[in-house]
Amino acid sequence: MISVEDWALIRRLVADGVPRRQVARQLGIGRATVDRAVASDRPPKYERRPVPTAFTPFEARVRAILAEHPEMPATVIAERVGWTGSITWFRDNVRRLRPGYRRPDPADRLVWEAGDAAQCDLWFPPKRIPLEDGSSALLPVLVMVAAHSRFITGRMLPTRRTEDLLLGSWELIGRLGRVPRRLIWDNEPGIGRGGRLAAGVAAFTGTLATKVVQLPPNDPESKGIVERRNGFFETSFMPGRSFTSPADFNTQFDQWLSRANARIVRTIKARPVDLIEADRARMLALPPVPLLLGWRHRVRLGRDYYVRLDASDYSVDPTAIGRMVEVSADLDRVRARLDGRVVADHARVWARGATVTDPAHKRIAQALREQARQPRVAATATNADDLTRDLADYDRAFGLSGEVA
């Protein structure tokens, strides 16, 4: 077989009018080789003839398994067919055969209309954030991207529970100033899974007049905008940064997002800050009534005058012991109310297992304990309302007056 260079030279010489016999003599090749080179419409390519290998006897059985179970792991297939050779060699052969048995799953290029949708996701920054008790944790960041304008909003949250996800979503929607017609999520447990929404999510979307779209598994294209932003954060925001608290993270993140939203996005060849107004104009108006969001429950306050929220305990005014108190919390504050009166107001802690005590509550508890330990003083009656009875009255009632025992 001649080389690609000789093939090209033969065709050029013959095209220039050099007789084929002379070309063969000059290059030291046969006349038939020159004829084949001239007749060929593509460069010569070496193709090795297939020869039997150690995998050949197993190939038919492997194909039969892949036809029924295209995603079965290669190690399981090797066990089923009795393979005892190199597992790496077996994997290479299964990898070569597997594409022929997978069903194609085409991905369409989506067009996002103004005001139609916002893609939502949780991003976990790869750095532990210091908390109030000296510990640190990997915390979620709720990211919401307006799909048409690519305008990014985000906020770090204490947990990925439904209460905090809805509080964070409401805050980010408030930053947009309008409500996207659809909120696109994957199967995040705090929002819903398997087509069923988590408790409270339906009321949230109903009040906003929007809709939560839960994507089916293996559908990354429908949420690719926010997924790419998560990668963008790790390569452009995180390097070289340190944080002292979740609040410090949110401050730095907000400042960086203001610059990121002013950059030209390659796919749309525009800046999100220039398109967001057109996006907002097609979104829905904010609801006229306030949303009741966050953590809410009623509990009877025990002698241990603390209430638990998430995984931490907060003190309550001890005068409410034995009575039902309403406990509520948002992303920043934890409050307890007794008949509408605030009996506890604390900054919410993000550390788990923390105990938060108001010094005033501790002083009140000490005073109440001292009062409880004082002996009760018996009342002495000096007026007509005295309920103390003379014992002689009982003697006269039973006819024992004047008798000597």
CB atoms near residue 203 (< 10 Å): 14
Summarised one tens digit per residue, pLDDT across range 298-345 is 999 999 999 999 989 999 999 999 999 999 999 999 999 999 999 999
246 vs 154: CA distance, rounded Å: 13
SS3 152: strand
CA gap 348, 345 in Å, rounded: 9
For position 404, what pLDDT does the model report? 47
Structural Rg of the chain based on CA atoms: 39
CA distance 182 to 146: 10
**Full pLDDT tens readout for the chain, 405 residues:** 678 888 888 888 888 888 989 988 888 888 898 888 888 888 887 777 778 889 999 999 999 999 999 999 999 999 999 999 999 999 999 999 999 998 877 767 778 899 999 999 999 999 999 998 889 999 999 999 999 999 999 999 999 999 999 999 999 999 999 999 999 999 899 999 888 999 999 999 999 999 999 988 767 677 889 999 999 999 999 999 999 999 999 999 999 999 999 999 998 999 999 999 999 999 999 998 878 899 999 999 999 999 999 989 999 999 999 999 999 999 999 999 999 999 999 999 999 999 999 999 999 999 999 888 887 765 554 555 555 666 666 566 666 655 544
pLDDT for the residue numbered 193? 87
Task: Report pLDDT for 388.
Answer: 62
DSSP structure class, residue 139: -
Closest to 316 measured CA to CA, from 307, 324, 308? 307
Biggest CA–CA distance in the chain, Å, is: 165
**DSSP three-state, residue 249:** helix
At 180, list the tokens. 């996207």
DSSP line for 49-64: PP---TTHHHHHHHHH
**pTM, whole model, 2 decimals?**
0.71
Distance between CA atoms of 146 and 172, rounded to whole angstroms? 11
Give the pLDDT confidence of 21-59 residue by residue, as tens digits: 998 888 888 889 888 888 888 888 777 777 888 999 999
Looking at residue 388, its amino acid is T
H helices present in 193-336, as ranges: 201-208, 224-232, 246-260, 272-281
Query: How many beta carbons lie within 10 A of that of residue 399, not counting itself?
Result: 8
Q: What's the Cα-to-Cα distance from 167 to each of 188, 258, 295, 331, rounded to whole Å?
A: 15, 22, 9, 7
